[in-house]
Structure 1
Amino acid sequence: MSTWNDRSARHAHEHHPVWLDAVFRTRPDGRPYPAAVTTIWERGADLQTRFLPDINATLWLEIYWTGTPIAITAHVTSAATTDESAEMEIAFAGGDERSRAGMERLLASLAARASGHFERRKQASARGVRTFRV
């Protein structure tokens, strides 16, 4: 029986064959994360060029944070050019509050590296959905 992670990874590779695996092993300050953090990213130069050309673009991530798998789906929710911002809804499934908080910090770090800024727009904690401006 396949797990959700197996199915989602298979979906990503079947429907988005240009995606690749990337492993981020250290924080921006050089200290290691408490566990290996594995993400499935679409090929592209940065978050802006990756998401903004197609409002229907979807990013599937498999995150392993402190040993807890967290599945994440991100959808672009507003159109923009590469000179503007786009809002993305990022839905968290699985994990506990500590691991989800760690995931938010990681996403903030990655977005800051990619686009130079990261703004948390709103939080709907009951559904586990965060909306970010990247």
Structure 2
Amino acid sequence: KDLAPASAIPSWPPLAIQCELWSNAGIGPARIAVMDRVATPKIALLGRSRDAPAGVCFVALDGDVAMLHALEVTPETRKSGVATRILNGAANWALSKGAGWITVNVTSANAPANALYRKLGMRPVAGYHYRRAPEVTT
């Protein structure tokens, strides 16, 4: 889908404002360092709203699969189309690199994200869950 100018700006390494947006959402230097270690094609996308930074995500390619990670949108711009524009930008980038698929991981409890992905035609294809070991008392 064609995007409005400067609505999803790609870069790597991430810009300071992208790192700030991630930091505000609890994604710190350690997770950004993991993104940096990815050896395949990758980008960070900066989403904008009303000419101001409004969201960010990371996308990496493995073969014909693009994996979207760390999608964050500022609270004041949620439900304004920022995430949709970022995802469209991610899909356009992935297609330009030869990807046939774009994937995301999202918890079933994240209703807003799941609604967004459904609206964009995405569907669950796999699932997993975490287990917690029982507490050991002595």
Decide: shared fold, TM above 0.5. no
Higher-RCO chain (CA-CA 8 Å, sequence separation at least 6) = 2
Larger radius of gyration, structure 1 or 2? 2
TM-score, normalised to structure 2's length?
A: 0.41
Between Structure 1 and Structure 2, which shows a larger proportion of helix residues? 2
TM-score, normalised to structure 1's length?
A: 0.41
